[in-house]
Structures are given as C-alpha cells and as structure tokens.
Amino acid sequence: MSVHVAWDERLARELIDERAGLEGAMLPILHALQKKFGYVDARAVAPIAKALNISRAEVFGTISFYHDFKRQPPMGGTIKLCRAEACQARGAESLAEHLEQAHGVKIDGGYSNGVSVETVYCLGNCALGPNALHDGEIFGRLDSQGLDDLYASVARKAGERA
C-alpha cells in the first residue's frame, strides 16, 4: 500500500538533488517526487529546472505530457483499468461501462466515493485480462463482480483515510 507524506520543500529538494546528476534525470526526479508525495507539486518545477539547467516550461511540459504524473494531492484511491486490445477483447469496455453505470465513476475524470478510475494501455498481464491495477497489485480475470469488489475495497480504504 502506498503511503504518501505531505509536501515538504526540503525533502523535495533532497530528492531532486540526489538524482540531478543522473543521465536523463528529469523522469527519475519526477517519479521520486510522485512516489514520495503522491503527486508533483507546482513548487517543484523551479527547483527541478534549476538543478537540470533547463526551462520551467520543459519541466511543466514533461509533467503535463505523462498522464501518470499528478499535479495535485491524491483525494482517495485509484484503480487503473487496462483498455488495451487484449483486455478489450475480454470485456474491458463493458467493465468500464459497468463502473460508470453502477458506481457513477467517470473514467479518467474525477472521483466517486473517494475512488478514481484511470485508463491504462497494458499492464503486461494480457493472458489473464481484463486487468486492473491498484496500489501496485494487478487484478486479473476481472468480471463485473470482481471489479465491484475491488471498487468497494478501494472506496473503504479511501473512507478510512479521510
């Protein structure tokens, strides 16, 4: 289970400085910040740009280009639903529709009961699709009941954190 800490300028600068010397350092820096805080705060843009001797626009452009980088603190739990071809062939689209109808979840656009659902394209578990990912754990061979159970579990955890 991911446990994120509140944004801390000093800790963020340490994470940036530790990775600034790496080749292609921007992505490792952004991943480290995301892992530690659950998002990349706007206050990190200038220190990253300075450490890497690049423009703030380049940093912001990278953050906004990659969907996995969040720009605000997580509000609850996230389920990543695979909608690549193999999972589509096994019913991923009907699962997405089920989530929207049964739970009011707008895929790729908001929270319902503290749960957001994001589209991903391939979790590398194609033979066991349709698949979802939550907190680093893959859930395969999902049907509507399995997805309902996962959704309920994530919503319960989000409620406990609130």
Q: Taking Cα atoms as reference points, which of 88, 74, 84, 66 lies closest to residue 135? A: 74
Q: What is the pLDDT of residues 116-151, one digit of tens each?
A: 899 999 999 999 999 999 988 999 999 999 999 999
Segments forming the whole domain that contains residue 30: 9-65
- For residue 141, the domain's CATH number is 3.40.30.10
CA distances from 52 to 13, 22, 34, 152 (A): 12, 10, 18, 43
- Residue 64 CB: number of other CB atoms within 10 A? 10
Domain boundary among 20, 44, 65: 65
Strand partners, 80: 118, 133
Residue 28 lies in a domain: yes
d(CA 146, CA 149): 5
Residue 142 lies in a domain: yes
Residues 110 and 146 in one domain: yes
Query: What is the reported pLDDT for 68?
Result: 80
Residue 157 lies in a domain: yes
Query: What is the reported pLDDT for 75?
Result: 74
Is it the case that residue 3 has pLDDT exceeding 70?
A: no
Residues 39 and 86 in one domain: no
Strands (E), the chain: 77-82, 115-120, 132-134, 137-139
Give the type of residue at 153: S
Residue 4 lies in a domain: no
d(CA 111, CA 97): 16
Residue 35 lies in a domain: yes
Is it the case that residue 11 has pLDDT exceeding 50?
A: yes
Residues 87 and 60 in one domain: no
Residue 3 lies in a domain: no
Domain count, the chain: 2
Q: What is the pLDDT of residues 50-103, one digit of tens each?
A: 999 999 999 999 999 987 888 888 777 889 999 999 999 999 999 999 999 999
Query: What is the reported pLDDT for 38?
Result: 85
Residue 2 lies in a domain: no
Residues 130 and 151 in one domain: yes
Whether the bond between 47 and the residue before it is cis, its omega within 30 degrees of 0, is: no
Is it the case that residue 14 has pLDDT exceeding 70?
A: yes
Residues 59 and 82 in one domain: no
Residues 86 and 146 in one domain: yes
Residue 24 lies in a domain: yes
